[in-house]
Amino acid sequence: MHPDFDERDFEAAKDWLRRRAREPRPAGDLREGHSLTYRDPDGRLSVRIEVRCETDFVARSEELEDLLRTLAMQVARSPALRWVSREEAPAEIEARELAEQVLLEQPFASDPRQTVGDALAALQGRVMERVEVVGFARFDARGGPG
């Protein structure tokens, strides 16, 4: 038997589930992930990007897939990128360099009026859960910086 309701009291169980669904999740509760690999047409440059989110519903959503594809192409075009967020960057990095070297600080490729961080926040607002970019890797076999 559940401590909050009798096992035959379906209305109490539904109320409990509704309250539980509105409770904030613990900060580290990003248990679902999704990653995408982008390869440029000549096959010599590829990018792997990974996000974590709270539910598999969002992890498998077309909206998240579209965002990942856009971000992967943005990382491919930005060889100076080093970090996902400002918190990862060393303290001595100047503000003007952040937009160059920090993914979330860059102008968003699909809408340069907002940053990548703003686009991610907008997605979180639409899906009603936290989504975080946890990392990216850029592999460049063309001999340039990567």
Average pLDDT in the 66-81 region? 93
Kindly list the domain boundaries of the chain, sorted by start residue: 1-28, 31-140
- CA neighbours closer than 13 Å in the CB half-sphere of residue 60: 3
pTM, entire model: 0.74
Helices (H) and strands (E) in the chain, counts: 5, 5
**CA dist., res. 129 & res. 144, Å (int):** 38
Task: Assess whether pLDDT exceeds 70 at residue 145.
Answer: no
Mean confidence (pLDDT) of the chain: 83
Question: What pLDDT score does 74 carry?
Answer: 94
Task: Assess whether pLDDT exceeds 60 at residue 103.
Answer: yes
Q: Which fold has domain 31-140?
A: Tetrahydropterin Synthase; Chain A (3.30.479)
Give, for 35, the enclosing helix (H) or strand (E).
strand 32-39
**Minimum mean pLDDT range among 20-24, 60-64, 75-79, 138-142:** 20-24
CA 19 to chain centre: 27
Question: What pLDDT score does 2 carry?
Answer: 47
Q: pLDDT: is 97 or 119 the higher one?
A: 119
